Amino acid sequence: MVEAVMAVRKKEMGYKTAAKTFQVPRATLKDYVQSSLEPEDMVNRNIGRPTVLPKVMEQCLQILPDIEETSTG
């Protein structure tokens, strides 16, 4: 996707040609090209709602079954 966006922005090829060459959706390519963000930032951004629990809590919850298994033995 990044290469396709750069090719269109540099006017090396049009939307249709870039979409076919790099096998990306033309509408998405157009949205990315018209955006003011860098292509790398658009492709690598987090999409969706933020997680409810912080990372530390998630790690604790993953360890919990092991603790329960060893303590009830």
Q: Could you tell me which residue, 7 or 63, shows the higher pLDDT?
A: 7
Amino acid letter for position 64? L
The C-alpha atoms of residue 25 and residue 48 are separated, in whole angstroms, by 20
Which among 28-32, 53-57, 65-69 has the top mean pLDDT?
28-32
Q: Over the stretch 16-44, which tens digit does the pLDDT of each residue have?
A: 999 999 999 999 899 888 887 787 777 77
* Amino acid residing at 50: P
Q: Given a cut of 80, is residue 47 above it in pLDDT?
A: no
Say if residues 9 and 33 touch (Cβ distance below 8 Å).
Answer: yes
Question: Within 13 A of 12's CA, how many CA atoms are on the CB side?
Answer: 10
Distance between CA 36 and CA 11 in Å, rounded? 16
- Per-domain residue ranges of the chain: 1-62
Q: Where are the alpha helices (DSSP H) in 23-54?
A: 26-34, 39-43
For residue 45, the model assigns a pLDDT of 72
